[in-house]
Amino acid sequence: MSAAVIQHAEPLRVDGLSLSFGGIQVLSDISLRLEAGEITGLIGPNGAGKTSFFNCLTGIYAPTQGGIEMGGLRLEALPPFRRAALGFSRSFQHVALCPELTIAENVMIGLDRLSRAGWLHAFLPLPAGRKERARNRALALGALERLGIAQVADSRPAELPPGLLRLAEIARAIVGEPRVLLLDEPAAGLNSIETRDLAAALKKLRSPDLVLVVVEHDMDLIMDVCDRIFVLNVGRLLASGTPAQVRANPEVVKVYLGDEDE
Ligand SMILES: Nc1ncnc2c1ncn2[C@@H]1O[C@H](COP(=O)(O)OP(=O)(O)O)[C@@H](O)[C@H]1O
Ligand SMILES: [Mg+2]
């Protein structure tokens, strides 16, 4: 079998995606197109199904119905590691950095899918591992640099404030040059200055070859950074459009923006 690749600048297409757990419908018939080169926002009240949608895209959850396609490849039946190898990457709702490792080492873990010998090998003090480790460290420093936080490369997570930890997690998610980057509530737990820095970092990640999707409750952040927004409500796609269109949609105001303070 030849190694499948996703060509540059391909959109990710989701068609009729549904997900249920033991009779509970979590996602219902979601169809949408996520464009490369844009920042897409995914918003909706707690429990709307945003994280579950990400889990379907990365293969953690198997949809009960529907298709996921990118660059002519059908993805819905591929296991998570195959999707990671095709360029799917994500950050999680809760910061998940390894406390024993430095920030640069944490970022190097994001190269897992590219490493011939596996990332553990790159940590071992063997000659082959040493060369790979040096290369991986250079890539990790490059990713930290892109997010403007190269100065924390040799710090440990416990020494850093939440804003820098979030950026470090995003560095780990981008170090492998993903085609699809899914960020789940990156501003959770950040103060307003950290959130502003995060917004600046996200805008710098916009790239013609990257499908970038951000789930977020911070409406100012979403409206600021996104080109297009999809609104989920109890597992259904309620609305989509530019930030201005979504903000002006009465349905959206009713179910979501109206109780922004929840
Ligand atoms: N593994 C699971 N098993 C059962 N129910 C789940 C599972 N994952 C998510 N759900 C349910 O799916 C719904 C949507 O959850 P989630 O995707 O986390 O929403 P959001 O991220 O929008 O807050 C919730 O009702 C949640 O309880
Ligand atoms: Mg969630």
Ligand 1 atom 26: residue of nearest CA: 47
Confidence at residue 116, expressed as pLDDT on a 0 to 100 scale: 52
Report how far ligand 1's centroid is from the alpha carbon of 195 (Å): 26
Confidence at residue 246, expressed as pLDDT on a 0 to 100 scale: 95
Report how far ligand 1's centroid is from the alpha carbon of 19 (Å): 10
CATH numbers and ranges of domains, the chain: 1-87+178-262 (3.40.50.300), 97-175 (no CATH)
Confidence at residue 115, expressed as pLDDT on a 0 to 100 scale: 56
Ion ligand 2, residue ranges at CB < 5 A? 50-51
Confidence at residue 2, expressed as pLDDT on a 0 to 100 scale: 47
Pocket perturbation via mutation, ligand 1, pick of 18, 25, 26 by most ligand atoms within 8 A of CB: 26
Residue 93 structure tokens: 């709702």
Of 139, 144, 169, which is closest to residue 154 (Cα–Cα)? 144
Reported in sequence order, the residue ranges of 71-179 that DSSP labels E, i.e. its strands, are 73-74, 88-91
Ligand 1 atom 27: residue of nearest CA: 47
With DSSP H G I counted as helix, E B as strand and the rest as coil, what are the percentages for the chain, rounded to 5?
Answer: 40, 25, 35
Report how far ligand 1's centroid is from the alpha carbon of 251 (Å): 22
Of 175, 179, 177, 172, which is closest to residue 35 (Cα–Cα)? 179
What is the full per-residue pLDDT of the chain (262 aa) written as tens digits? 446 777 778 999 999 999 999 989 999 999 999 999 999 999 999 999 999 999 999 999 999 999 999 999 999 999 999 999 999 999 887 888 999 999 999 999 998 765 555 555 556 666 677 788 899 999 999 999 999 999 999 999 999 999 999 999 999 999 999 999 999 999 999 999 999 999 999 999 999 999 999 999 999 999 999 999 999 999 999 999 999 999 999 999 888 755 554 4
Give me the phi and psi of 242, to 5 degrees please.
-70, 165
Ligand 1 atom 6: residue of nearest CA: 21
Report how far ligand 2's centroid is from the alpha carbon of 235 (Å): 12
Largest CA distance in the chain: 62
Closest listed ligand to the CA of 42 = 1
Confidence at residue 88, expressed as pLDDT on a 0 to 100 scale: 95
